[in-house]
Structure 1
């Protein structure tokens, strides 16, 4: 796993690319839906406890998302797999 400071924007983008609902991400990670929604409201790095961001990052990476950060610090994602079917 690449050391990237995961942003709310990246979480939203990755979830959208995979066509995952907030509930699906919560089910995959064990992180509560309210927490995910709160993280996604942040365009920067959300305040987090308990390693939730790492857990979310691992789950999304396992599904084929690569998180990137440009030299200027801009966050991004690369999709390494076809988006999954909606659940």
Structure 2
């Protein structure tokens, strides 16, 4: 996951950095520094961040000559109906 993919995924979900950090169980500073390209999080943090976005319905599109991207699954959970604490619980299990 790239910083740009992270920002775009949050935009698709209408999540703030705070929402994202809560869903992933990482600090808001971790999210902010990653998205601003100030630092790269530990591999484990990056994995839980990506998992939180995927659980919410984001699909990561690999580099294909046009650059990496993101989109939403058609059958994704209703973002408004799925609480952030439910996402965190799914990521913990």
Whether these two folds match at TM > 0.5 is yes
Q: For this structure pair, what is the TM-score category when the shorter chain's length is used for normalisation? A: 0.7 to 0.9
| Structure label with greater radius of gyration | 2
Match of 2:47 among 54, 59, 77: 54
Give the distance between the partners of 1:49 and 1:57, measured in 2 at CA.
Answer: 12
Runs of at least 5 residues in structure 1 that lack an aligned partner in the other structure = 1-5
Divergent runs of 4+, >4 A? none
| 2:3 aligned with 1:8 | yes
Q: Give the CA RMSD over aligned residues.
A: 2.1
TM-score (norm 1): 0.77
Richer in helix (by share): 2
**Residue deviations 1:3-37, cap 9 Å, x none?**
xxx10000000011000111111111111001101
Which structure's relative contact order is higher, taking Cα pairs within 8 Å and 6+ residues apart? 1
